[in-house]
Each structure stands twice: as structure tokens, then as C-alpha cells.
């Protein structure tokens, strides 16, 4: 069996450096390693609407932002199919069939859904579409027969639901769908990069994100204001690197090459951390280094973004072409699904002949 990689994002805002180290960087590597048969990255606008029903404009605006972030990060439409979820009606169809193969209580047990319901204060007023999104996500994955889904830990419950639905579908109707497994990001600081204020989550409302599309100056202002170690007051005080955002970000971004190029006094991050812990190393020096490290990644992205921004209609065209090619695959799977479920009436010569005979015999 071939390798089919698929993953997506809800287009509810611009992507930030947390998205980059958590998933985008790995996607671009996977794409460039080329060890797969097909690779899809899509914008889950239908899923985004499940908790933004009254604000479709937000989604509409962010499609292009996320598309530019993808292209800037190095996703290449020649190698990887980029598409928009809502433009693949086969997804809704498969979702409908899958909904019959799972119970309400099974969805209720999904820990990610539970947390999100709390976070959004839905309580007794959970939109039904929101409640069902794990099933729709199973359709996203199975319609393309993806077997590898790069995603964060929080998506594991969705993958569990997907595998259960694949088994139930295949046992009930025949082997059509493929069981996927999750590909988690590498260990360490990358799994969940905190905000620049040291709060656990990067979020737009907390204003603690560094966006991929920010200018070098905006990034420097944010790096300068980063939360470090409140006990590291005087230069010679010993410092803490745990919970210190400068070091957390260096964990996620810096390489030995960065030290060789920008700060050859240290061979690697361990040496820098040792010095910081001993005392005698100022925050500002570390921040300046982090800024260089970040810029090494962000500057080429800015340049690529700038190029794509010159021809926005072409970016929509890239999405349109990707969506068309995704739809071809979607249509094939839906044909197989309908055939397995035996609801492909018009293609079912046997059914038509059988019924013709049954009714013919009645006539005599």
C-alpha cells in the first residue's frame, strides 16, 4: 500500500511560529523528502464554521492568509495538493454515511471535543455540527485514503474515532477505507510552543503570538519583550532556562550552525544554557541571538510571501487547481463507497435486471 499523507488547519487566523515548529516545518520536510505517493494539505473551513457559524467572513478572510502562510513556508503545489474543504461536496456525503456508524455517546467521550466544549462555554447549547466534527474529520482523512496524518497530540482522539469508523465501515460494507495513523511532531519544545509571555498557549486574543507574516521589526519588538527569568535581575545572578521563553524558543529553533554563524563563543545551546545558569550572561544578548535565529527561518518566508502577494488571483488559482485534483480522488472513493453500500443504483445492472425480472414475472 502506498503512502498518502494528509493534514489540515482551520482557517481562523494567520499562522504563527507555534504552527511552524509544531507542524508546518515537518510538512515541508516531508514534502521535500518526497517519500510518499500523494500529499494533501487543506484548509478545514467547514470545520472552522462549526464554531463560527455567525462569522463566515472571518473564515473567508483567513483562507488567503493561511494559503500565503503555506506557500511562504515552502509548501509547493507541484508536490503537495492544497485544497479547500468546503469545495469538496463528497466530504459531506461521506460524513453522512459515517454518522450512522457511531453513537452519540462515543462522540461525547472524545476528550478533545470535551475540552473544546468547555473552552467555548457551549455546555447545553452545543451546535450539532460542532458535535459531529470528529466524524467529518474522519471523512476528511478516509475520503483520500490517507494513512499518515501529521498532527498534534490533541488530534489523537480524532484518529481513534477515524480508525473505529474505518473498521466499522469495512466490516459492514466491505474493504474500502484505510486506517490512518497519526504522525506526532518531534519531542520537546516543539509540541506546544508557549506564547512570548510564557503563557501556555499562543493565542490571538492574548496577543502573545509571533506570526509568520510579521516584519523583521515586529518580530524584534516581540522578542525584546519576551518573558525570561524574573529572578535574573542583575547580570551576575544565576539564571533559569526552564520557563524562560528565550530558551524555550531557542530549543525549538536553534541549530549548532546558528551558533557557528552568529555566536561562535558557544558551540551549542547546552553551552549557552550553562553560562546563563552560572550567571554573567545578559538577557539582551540572548534575545539578539534568538532574533537572528528566528530571522534565518522567517526572512526567506517573507520573501516568498512577498512574491505570492504580487499575484493574489494566482494564489486562488493554485487552490482551485488543487481542489479540482483532490475532487477527482474524492469522486473515485465515493464511487467505491456507494458501490460497497450498494446504493449505486444506476450503475447496478444486476439490480436493474433483478427487479425487471421480478416485476416481469408479476405481469404474467
Which residues of this chain interact with ligand TRP, rule CB under 6 A? 6-10, 44, 47, 137, 140-141, 149, 151, 155
| Beta carbon nearer to ligand TRP, 87 or 137 | 137
Considering the complex, what minimum distance in angstroms separates the CB of residue 320 from ligand TRP? Answer: 20
**In the chain, where does DSSP find H-type helix?**
17-19, 25-33, 45-49, 56-73, 89-99, 104-108, 111-119, 128-131, 133-143, 156-173, 216-224, 245-253, 256-262, 269-278, 283-309, 312-341, 349-363
Considering the complex, what minimum distance in angstroms separates the CB of residue 115 from ligand TRP? Answer: 12
Closest CA to 253 of 301, 188, 164: 188
| Beta carbon nearer to ligand TRP, 107 or 269 | 107
Considering the complex, what minimum distance in angstroms separates the CB of residue 31 from ligand TRP? Answer: 15
Residue 38 in 3-state DSSP?
strand
| Beta carbon nearer to ligand TRP, 7 or 323 | 7
Length of the chain: 364
Considering the complex, what minimum distance in angstroms separates the CB of residue 310 from ligand TRP? Answer: 29
H/E stretch holding 318 reads: helix 312-341
Residue 13 in 3-state DSSP?
coil
Considering the complex, what minimum distance in angstroms separates the CB of residue 98 from ligand TRP? Answer: 13
| Beta carbon nearer to ligand TRP, 49 or 250 | 49
Determine contact, residues 200/24, Cβ cutoff 8 Å: no
Burial of residue 91, with CB atoms counted within 10 A of its CB: 0-12 exposed, 13-18 middle, 19 or more buried:
buried
> 153 is written with which cell numbers?
497530540
| Beta carbon nearer to ligand TRP, 47 or 110 | 47
Region of residue 231 (left: phi > 0; alpha: psi -120 to 50; beta: else): alpha
Question: What end-to-end distance do the CA atoms of the chain give, in Å?
Answer: 52
Q: How far apart are CA 219 and CA 312, in angstroms?
A: 25
| Beta carbon nearer to ligand TRP, 51 or 229 | 51
By Cβ distance, which residue is nearest to ligand TRP?
Answer: 44
Considering the complex, what minimum distance in angstroms separates the CB of residue 9 from ligand TRP? Answer: 5
| Beta carbon nearer to ligand TRP, 201 or 278 | 201
Please give the distance of CA 360 from its chain centroid, rounded to a whole number.
56
Q: How far apart are CA 67 and CA 43, in angstroms?
A: 8
| Beta carbon nearer to ligand TRP, 128 or 360 | 128
Q: How far apart are CA 163 and CA 143, in angstroms?
A: 13
Considering the complex, what minimum distance in angstroms separates the CB of residue 188 from ligand TRP? Answer: 20
Considering the complex, what minimum distance in angstroms separates the CB of residue 135 from ligand TRP? Answer: 11
In the chain, DSSP assigns E strands to: 4-9, 38-43, 81-84, 148-150, 181-183
Amino acid at each position: 500500500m502506498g503512502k498518502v499523507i494528509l493534514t489540515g488547519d482551520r482557517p481562523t487566523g494567520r499562522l504563527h511560529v507555534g504552527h511552524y515548529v509544531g507542524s508546518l516545518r515537518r510538512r515541508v520536510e516531508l514534502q521535500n523528502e518526497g517519500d510518499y505517493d500523494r500529499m494533501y494539505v487543506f484548509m478545514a473551513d467547514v470545520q472552522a464554521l462549526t464554531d463560527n457559524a455567525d462569522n463566515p467572513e472571518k473564515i473567508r478572510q483567513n483562507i488567503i492568509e493561511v494559503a500565503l502562510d503555506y506557500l511562504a513556508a515552502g509548501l509547493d503545489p507541484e508536490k503537495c495538493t492544497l485544497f479547500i474543504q468546503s469545495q469538496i461536496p463528497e466530504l459531506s456525503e461521506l460524513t453522512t454515511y459515517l454518522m450512522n456508524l457511531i453513537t452519540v455517546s462515543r462522540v461525547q467521550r472524545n476528550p478533545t471535543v470535551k475540552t473544546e466544549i468547555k473552552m467555548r462555554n457551549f455546555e447545553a447549547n452545543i451546535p450539532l455540527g460542532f458535535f459531529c466534527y470528529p466524524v467529518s474529520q474522519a471523512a476528511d482523512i478516509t475520503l483520500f485514503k490517507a494513512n499518515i496524518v501529521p498532527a498534534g497530540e490533541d488530534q489523537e482522539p480524532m484518529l481513534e474515532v477515524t480508525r473505529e469508523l474505518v473498521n466499522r465501515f469495512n466490516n459492514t460494507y466491505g474493504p474500502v477505507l484505510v486506517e490512518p495513523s497519526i504522525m506526532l511532531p518531534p519531542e520537546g519544545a516543539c509540541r506546544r510552543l508557549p506564547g512570548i509571555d510564557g503563557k501556555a498557549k499562543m493565542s490571538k486574543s492574548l496577543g502573545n503570538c509571533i506570526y509568520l507574516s510579521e516584519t523583521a521589526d515586529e518580530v524584534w519588538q516581540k522578542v525584546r519583550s519576551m518573558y525570561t527569568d524574573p529572578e535574573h535581575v542583575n547580570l551576575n545572578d544565576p539564571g533559569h532556562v526552564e520557563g524562560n521563553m528565550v530558551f524555550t524558543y531557542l530549543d525549538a529553533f536553534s541549530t549548532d550552525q546558528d551558533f557557528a554563524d552568529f555566536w561562535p563563543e558557544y558551540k551549542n545551546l547546552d553551552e549557552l544554557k550553562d553560562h546563563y545558569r552560572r550567571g554573567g550572561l545578559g538577557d539582551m544578548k540572548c534575545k539578539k541571538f534568538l532574533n537572528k535565529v528566528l530571522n534565518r527561518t522567517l526572512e526567506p518566508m517573507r520573501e516568498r510571501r512577498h512574491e505570492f502577494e504580487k499575484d493574489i488571483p494566482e494564489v486562488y488559482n493554485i487552490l482551485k487547481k488543487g481542489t479540482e485534483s483532490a475532487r477527482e480522488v474524492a469522486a473515485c472513493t465515493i464511487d467505491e463507497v456507494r458501490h460497497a453500500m450498494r446504493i449505486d443504483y444506476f450503475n447496478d445492472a444486476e439490480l436493474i435486471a433483478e427487479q425487471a425480472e421480478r416485476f416481469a414475472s408479476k405481469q404474467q
